C-alpha cells in the first residue's frame, strides 16, 4: 500500500519558511519526496514539520509485574504520543529482564500493539543483583540492544569491568546508573542548602561524580562503550568532558527534568519531584544545557518513570523515585530551549544523537529508510493536560504549562501510531 503524507515542511535552516511538500512511503519504507505517484492512502501533516520519529533510550514501561504503574500498551502509546517511534525499555521490572525468553516475548507483544517499536535493554547482571553476569550473548540474540542494571547501581567494579568487556565483544553498549549507593545512602533529594533547610536526607553530587569518575576509568581500561544515563550535575559533566578530551569512549544523556527543574521544587514537599539522581541546583541545570551546546552531552533521554498517584502522594521519605515525561519531553525542550539550542539541534538530540550512542543506522527521511516519522507542530500552543495522557501516570511537573512543538502525527513502520486532534481543546 502506498501512502502519501501531504502538507508537511522539511526541517531546514529557516524553520517554518519551507514550502509544503509530500512524502511517499510503501510497506513501511520511504519511497521519496514529491513523487508523481498514485497513493492508496493520504495523511495530512497540516503544515507541520516532518522529522524522523524520535528515539528514546531510557523509559520504564514496568511490564512485566508492575502493570498498575504502566504496561507495554500504555507506555508505548504514550511514547507514540510523545513523537517516539522507538523506545529502549529498562529491565528493572518484576521479574527483571535477564531472560532471553522474556526479551522475545516483550518484543513480540509490542509488535502487535502498533505503537512505538520496543527495543528492550536487558539486565547486565542476573536479577540486577550485581553478583553474576546475565547471559549477555543470548540476550543480544533475543533482541536486547544494551545492558544495564538501571534502577540499581553497579557497586562491584570488577563485575562492571567484566560486563563491559563481554558487551564490547558483542558490539553492544553498557548503560550505567552512575551513583555510589553507599554515598547516596538514604538521600531523597540533592544535598545542599535546600535539603538542609528542609531537614531532609540529602544525596550529594559526589555520589554521582565519584561513580562517573570510576566508570570512565573502567571504560578507559576496557576500551568498551560506556553510556552514562541521566547525568545530573556539573561536577559529573566535567569528568565526562575531560574523559572525552582524553579519548575515552564514553557517552552520556541528560533528562528534561534535570534541565528544567531544580531542588527548589522540593520545598513543596511534593514527592512528584523525587527522582534519582535528584534534581540539582540552577547552576547544575545551566551546566547541563551548556553540555548539550558544546557536545559533551550526547543526547536527550527521558527516564520516563511512571508510578501510581497513590505511591507518589506518599511523603517524601516513602514515595518511590521517578518522574514520567515521555509525552511532553519534546515540546518541553523545544519551548524552553529552541532559542538557545536551535530547533534543528533539539531534533537531532532526540533522533540521530541517540541512534549514534547505540551505534544504530542514523534515521533519515530519504528513499529506502524505514517510514518512521513524526510531524511536529511548532506553531500551536497547547497546554499540558494530564487527563489526556496515554501513560497510566497522570501527573506531571509541567501540568498546565503551555508548550509548542507538539507531535501531531507519529508513523511507525508506515502505520499511524498516533494522531493528535487538530485543535487544542481550550475549554478545560
Q: What residues make contact with ligand DOR under the rule CB under 6 A?
A: 60, 92, 150-151, 177, 275-276, 305, 320-322
Is 394 labeled as ligand-binding?
A: no
- HSE-up (13 A, CA, CB side) for residue 44: 4
- Angle, vertex CA 39, rays to CA 47 and CA 48, nearest 5: 10
Residue 145 · residue 128 · CB < 8 Å:
no
Is 258 labeled as ligand-binding?
A: no
Min dist. Cβ of residue 345 to ligand DOR (A): 26
Three cell numbers written together for 413: 513502520
Is 257 labeled as ligand-binding?
A: no
| CA-atom Rg of the chain in angstroms | 21
Is 339 labeled as ligand-binding?
A: no
Is 58 labeled as ligand-binding?
A: yes
Closest to ligand DOR by CB, 61 vs 373, is: 61
User: Which residues does residue 3 pair with via DSSP β-bridges, in sequence order?
Assistant: 25, 41
Three cell numbers written together for 20: 509544503
Closest to ligand DOR by CB, 92 vs 125, is: 92
Residue 218 · residue 161 · CB < 8 Å:
yes
CA distance 88 to 154: 20
- HSE-up (13 A, CA, CB side) for residue 50: 30
Residue 170 · residue 140 · CB < 8 Å:
yes
User: Which residues does residue 118 pair with via DSSP β-bridges, in sequence order?
Assistant: 87
CA distance 231 to 176: 10
* C-alpha torsion angle, residues 394, 256, 345, 400 (rounded to 10): 50
> What is the maximum alpha-carbon separation in the chain?
68
Cis omega (within 30 of 0) on the bond before 95? Answer: yes
Residue 158 · residue 134 · CB < 8 Å:
no
The residues assigned a catalytic role are 303
Min dist. Cβ of residue 92 to ligand DOR (A): 5
Closest to ligand DOR by CB, 25 vs 389, is: 389
- HSE-up (13 A, CA, CB side) for residue 427: 1
Is 303 labeled as ligand-binding?
A: yes
CA distance 304 to 346: 18
Closest to ligand DOR by CB, 148 vs 374, is: 148
Closest to ligand DOR by CB, 136 vs 276, is: 276
Min dist. Cβ of residue 177 to ligand DOR (A): 5
* 3-class secondary structure, 377: strand
Closest to ligand DOR by CB, 39 vs 96, is: 96
Min dist. Cβ of residue 87 to ligand DOR (A): 15
CA distance 161 to 228: 15
User: Which residues does residue 32 pair with via DSSP β-bridges, in sequence order?
Assistant: 24
Quick one: 51 exposed, middle or buried, by C-beta within 10 A (0-12, 13-18, 19+)? buried
Three cell numbers written together for 296: 559533551
Closest to ligand DOR by CB, 11 vs 271, is: 271
Min dist. Cβ of residue 150 to ligand DOR (A): 6
Min dist. Cβ of residue 69 to ligand DOR (A): 8
Min dist. Cβ of residue 383 to ligand DOR (A): 25
Is 321 labeled as ligand-binding?
A: yes
* Residues making up the binding site: 58, 60-62, 92, 150, 177, 230, 303, 307, 321-322
* Residues making up the binding site for substrate: 60-62, 92, 307, 321-322
* Residues making up the binding site for Zn(2+): 58, 60, 150, 177, 230, 303
Amino acid at each position: 500500500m502506498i501512502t502519501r503524507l501531504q502538507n508537511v515542511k522539511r526541517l531546514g535552516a529557516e524553520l517554518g519558511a519551507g514550502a509544503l511538500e509530500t512524502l511517499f512511503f510503501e510497506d513501511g519504507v520511504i519511497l521519496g519526496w514529491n513523487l508523481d505517484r498514485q497513493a492508496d492512502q493520504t495523511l495530512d501533516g497540516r503544515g507541520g514539520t516532518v522529522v524522523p520519529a524520535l528515539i528514546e533510550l531510557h523509559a520504564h514501561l514496568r511490564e512485566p509485574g508492575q502493570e498498575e504503574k504502566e504496561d507495554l500498551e500504555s507506555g508505548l502509546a504514550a511514547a507514540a504520543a510523545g513523537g517516539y517511534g522507538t523506545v529502549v525499555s529498562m529491565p528493572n521490572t518484576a521479574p527483571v529482564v535477564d531472560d532471553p525468553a522474556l526479551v522475545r516475548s516483550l518484543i513480540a507483544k509490542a509488535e502487535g500493539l502498533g505503537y512505538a517499536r520496543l527495543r528492550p535493554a536487558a539486565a547486565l547482571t542476573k536479577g540486577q543483583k550485581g553478583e553474576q553476569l546475565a547471559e549477555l550473548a543470548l540476550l543480544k540474540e533475543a533482541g536486547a540492544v544494551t545492558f544495564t542494571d538501571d534502577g540499581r547501581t553497579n557497586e562491584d567494579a570488577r563485575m562492571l569491568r567484566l560486563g563491559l568487556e563481554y558487551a564490547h565483544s558483542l558490539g553492544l553498549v553498557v548503560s550505567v546508573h552512575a551513583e555510589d549507593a553507599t554515598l547516596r545512602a538514604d538521600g531523597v533529594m540533592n544535598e545542599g542548602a535546600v535539603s538542609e533547610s528542609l531537614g531532609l536526607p540529602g544525596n550529594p553530587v559526589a555520589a554521582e561524580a565519584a561513580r562517573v569518575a570510576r566508570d570512565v576509568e573502567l571504560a578507559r581500561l576496557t576500551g568498551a562503550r560506556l553510556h552514562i544515563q541521566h547525568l545530573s550535575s556539573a561536577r559529573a559533566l566535567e569528568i565526562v568532558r575531560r574523559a572525552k578530551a582524553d579519548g575515552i569512549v564514553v557517552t552520556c544523556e541528560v533528562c528534561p527534568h534535570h534541565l528544567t527543574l531544580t531542588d527548589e521544587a522540593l520545598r513543596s514537599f511534593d514527592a512528584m519531584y523525587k527522582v534519582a539522581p535528584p534534581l540539582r541546583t540552577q547552576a547544575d541545570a545551566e551546566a547541563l544545557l551548556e553540555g548539550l551546546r558544546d557536545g559533551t552531552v550526547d543526547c536527550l533521554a527521558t527516564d520516563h518513570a511512571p508510578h501510581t498517584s497513590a505511591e507518589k502522594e506518599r511523603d517524601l521519605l516513602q514515595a518511590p523515585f521517578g518522574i514520567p515525561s515521555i509525552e511532553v519531553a519534546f515540546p518541553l525542550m523545544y519551548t524552553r530551549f529552541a532559542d538557545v539550542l536551535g530547533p534543528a539541534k533539539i531534533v537531532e538530540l532526540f533522533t540521530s544523537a541517540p541512534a549514534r550512542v547505540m551505534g544504530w543506522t542514523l534515521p533519515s527521511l530519504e528513499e529506502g529508510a524505514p517510514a518512521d516519522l513524526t510531524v511536529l507542530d511548532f506553531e500551536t500552543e497547547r497546554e499540558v493536560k494530564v487527563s489526556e495522557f496515554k501513560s497510566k501516570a497522570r501527573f506531571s511537573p509541567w501540568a498546565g504549562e503551555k508548550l509548542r512543538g507538539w507531535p501531531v502525527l507519529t508513523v511507525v513502520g508506515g502505520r499511524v501510531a498516533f494522531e493528535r486532534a487538530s485543535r487544542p481543546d481550550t475549554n478545560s
